[in-house]
Chains A and B, each alone.
Chain A
Amino acid sequence: MTQVFGIPVAVILGQLMLGLVNGSFYAMLSLGLAVIFGLMRVVNFAHGAFYALGAFAALLALQKLGIGYWPALVLAPLAVGVLGVVAERLFLRHLYRLDPLYGLLLTFGIALVIEGTLHQVFGSSGESYPVPEALQGVLNLGFMILPIYRAWVIVASVVVCFSTWFVIERTRLGATLRAATENAPLLQAFGVNVPLLMAATYGGGVALAALAGVLSAPVILVTSDMGSSLVVVVFAVVVIGGMGSILGSIVSGLALGVIEGFTKVIYPEASNIVVFVIMALVLILRPAGLFGRE
């Protein structure tokens, strides 16, 4: 078998593949954070909680209502998105004129409420979600074994990320969104319903997180704290990429996932911390982030 540094190539490719899967989730989550932050100046700490909520919504739909994977892929983000709109209307909108730190603290509280409730209702052991039938099995590419579901996750998230990018950068709706980012009062004076836009953006951002949650449900154990550990990594990704840039958050999310996967091959002990170490290096060399402006 072919080897690089004494490690079989198939093992390296397998880990890179896993890294790319994780990177897809980082990309989708940091993308949602970037969209929300761009318009609302709110760092959404509850992002990880909404991600977990998406996974649990799919799980609950399957167990209680018999709704399968494919409908859940649409319904769970929709339900979580509605919840997001409600949260924005009830809580977040009161904070726009204050220091952004209050938004961070408020969403931290929301995250505790959601995760605490999930923990109480579903327990701490976690449950697994079956891989949908159409995506079971593996592809033998000759040089590596490729589980079909993992390939699907990567493809799906890349498609979702770039569609989001397209909507924001290339459509009229996106132009309105970007205009609101630049100068919301002026846009409102032109007759655009900015509060509605804000609520819809928050709902859309957390729906994206929930979609990532549904996608991840079959590859990980669904637990109440699946989001809280992830959100810190995603924050580091955002610091590395620079929060202002949508493309930047997609690229750095995927890249950091791959780097993490590669670290697992050569020095497994460091795989949990490599993203944070890279963040420290980026802060020393380029404090504004790789794609950021300041």
Chain B
Amino acid sequence: MYVSLTRAFYVLACAFALAVPLLGIYPVFMMKLLCFAMFACAFNLLLGFSGMLSFGHAAFFGSAGYVTGWLVTAHGWGTLPAIAVGTAASALLGLAVGALAIRRRGIYFAMITMALAQLVYFVCLEAPFTGGENGLQGLPRGALLGVLLLKSDVGMYYFVLAAFVAVFVFIRRVVHSPFGQVLKAIRENEPRAISLGYEINRYKLVAFVLSAALAGLAGSLKALVLGFATLSDVLQSNSGEVILMTLVGGTGTFFGPVAGAAVVVTLQEYLSDVVGGWVTVIIGAVFVACVLLFRRGIVGELAALRQRR
């Protein structure tokens, strides 16, 4: 019963996602939402399924956007290679940051990732190819494999949707693989995983690099969707927002980060018209409420409700 209901939900979600351009929903908004949903899913792979809280994921999201943006503007690269190199750059950055951060656990891990992300922010601010305070503007979306034009919002939307579904399925696959089970074992009880003979640092590092790379993919796509890459993507507040999305939706659930991203992006988009700058205060209050009142998040609470019945 439980499985079939979940399946029905996914079928409905897919149908909705495919029909979005017909429903008259603004495609750019949906693309932004999908990019942040992908970002949150990548983050959740780390926090939810490996038990590591990174407070610096904006560094991967933002720097991939910069690399992709720089390649398509200054070098005229095609869309796919630029995205691939942007993602690879994030993976490399993730390798460096992860190798340092996994030397400590828990809150120290969080503080280290935050500090290193701040380092990345300053590098982005001063590096010659990032455009400093202005960022990179007017990124062309290009074409897919030389034929499919992405200039139209609808074409780009389906491209982003396809990428998102691929990432979503990939993360499910990773979590359910033997590798994902070892990650879970490390999350639940690190000393026991060590005593069973697992090289836990290697597993943690691979998880970190995977998460960073997927966050980078989301950042690259977002830069192309909106046509710019700016410092706000590498800011600490962006790292905070992806945590909030995951927390609101449900840490350690597959669909939670997507639901959370939908809630937070919608809030930001529509609330900022109504309340202006108070949006930060509201986001902060949601954070406090989430931590105090529903730590399992939307999807987590729903699942708990179902199990109780």
Asked if A277 CB lies within 8 Å of chain B CBs, one says yes
Q: Are B115 and A116 in contact (CB under 8 A)?
A: no
Q: Are A105 and B115 in contact (CB under 8 A)?
A: no
Q: Are B110 and A104 in contact (CB under 8 A)?
A: yes
Given A273-B122, A287-B103, A110 and B288 touching (CB < 8 A)? yes
Asked if A284 CB lies within 8 Å of chain B CBs, one says yes
Interface residues on B, range: 35 or more
CB-CB contacts below 8 Å: A100-147 with B: 100-102, 104-106, 108-117, 119-120
Asked if B214 CB lies within 8 Å of chain A CBs, one says no
Asked if A212 CB lies within 8 Å of chain B CBs, one says no
Asked if A166 CB lies within 8 Å of chain B CBs, one says no
Distance between Cα atoms of A279 and B117 in the complex (Å): 12
Interface centre among A95, A105, A113, A235 (most CB of B within 10 A): A105
Q: Are A119 and B285 in contact (CB under 8 A)?
A: no
Asked if B238 CB lies within 8 Å of chain A CBs, one says no
From residue B146, how far is it (CB to closest CB) to chain A in Å? 41
Main secondary structure of the interface of B (DSSP, over half): helix
Chain B 131-155: CB-based contact to A (< 8 A → 1; otherwise 0): 0000000000000000000000000
CB-CB contacts below 8 Å: B51-70 with A: 53, 55
Q: Are A113 and B284 in contact (CB under 8 A)?
A: yes
Distance between Cα atoms of A235 and B104 in the complex (Å): 14
Chain A 253-278: CB-based contact to B (< 8 A → 1; otherwise 0): 00000000000000001001101110
A43 partner residues in chain B, CB cutoff 8 A? 107, 110-111
From residue A275, how far is it (CB to closest CB) to chain B in Å? 8
Distance between Cα atoms of A175 and B93 in the complex (Å): 45
Distance between Cα atoms of A113 and B122 in the complex (Å): 25
Given A101-B106, A109-B284, A120-B281, A235 and B291 touching (CB < 8 A)? no
CB-CB contacts below 8 Å: A64-115 with B: 91, 94-95, 98-102, 104-106, 108-115
Asked if A176 CB lies within 8 Å of chain B CBs, one says no
Main secondary structure of the interface of A (DSSP, over half): helix
Q: Are A91 and B288 in contact (CB under 8 A)?
A: yes
Q: Are A106 and B288 in contact (CB under 8 A)?
A: yes
Partner of B287, one of A112, A235, A243, A269: A112
Asked if B188 CB lies within 8 Å of chain A CBs, one says no
Closest to B119 in A: A276
Asked if A238 CB lies within 8 Å of chain B CBs, one says yes
Interface centre among A91, A94, A104 (most CB of B within 10 A): A104
Asked if B226 CB lies within 8 Å of chain A CBs, one says no
Distance between Cα atoms of A228 and B114 in the complex (Å): 12
Given A232-B118, A269-B126, A283-B100, A106 and B291 touching (CB < 8 A)? yes
CB-CB contacts below 8 Å: B91-128 with A: 100, 103-104, 106-108, 110-112, 114-116, 118-119, 122-123, 126
Closest to A33 in B: B111
Given A105-B247, A272-B122, A239 and B103 touching (CB < 8 A)? no
A117 partner residues in chain B, CB cutoff 8 A? 281
From residue A148, how far is it (CB to closest CB) to chain B in Å? 32
Asked if A34 CB lies within 8 Å of chain B CBs, one says no
Interface residues on A, range: 35 or more
Asked if A199 CB lies within 8 Å of chain B CBs, one says no
B115 partner residues in chain A, CB cutoff 8 A? 232-233, 235-236, 239, 275-276, 279
Given A108-B287, A235-B115, A287-B103, A101 and B280 touching (CB < 8 A)? no
Asked if A158 CB lies within 8 Å of chain B CBs, one says no
B288 partner residues in chain A, CB cutoff 8 A? 91, 106, 109-110, 113
A243 partner residues in chain B, CB cutoff 8 A? 108
Given A113-B284, A120-B278, A108 and B240 touching (CB < 8 A)? yes
The 13 sampled A-B contact pairs (Cβ below 8 Å) are: A100-B106, A109-B288, A112-B281, A112-B284, A113-B284, A116-B283, A117-B281, A232-B114, A236-B115, A238-B111, A243-B108, A279-B116, A287-B104
Interface residues, chain B, with chain A CB atoms under 8 Å away: 53, 55, 100, 103-104, 106-108, 110-112, 114-116, 118-119, 122-123, 126, 236-237, 240, 243, 247, 276-281, 283-288, 290-292, 295
Sample of 18 more A-B contacts, CB < 8 Å, known A108-B243, A279-B116: A95-B291, A98-B295, A101-B53, A104-B110, A111-B284, A112-B287, A113-B284, A115-B280, A116-B277, A116-B278, A116-B281, A119-B280, A233-B115, A235-B111, A236-B115, A239-B108, A273-B123, A280-B100
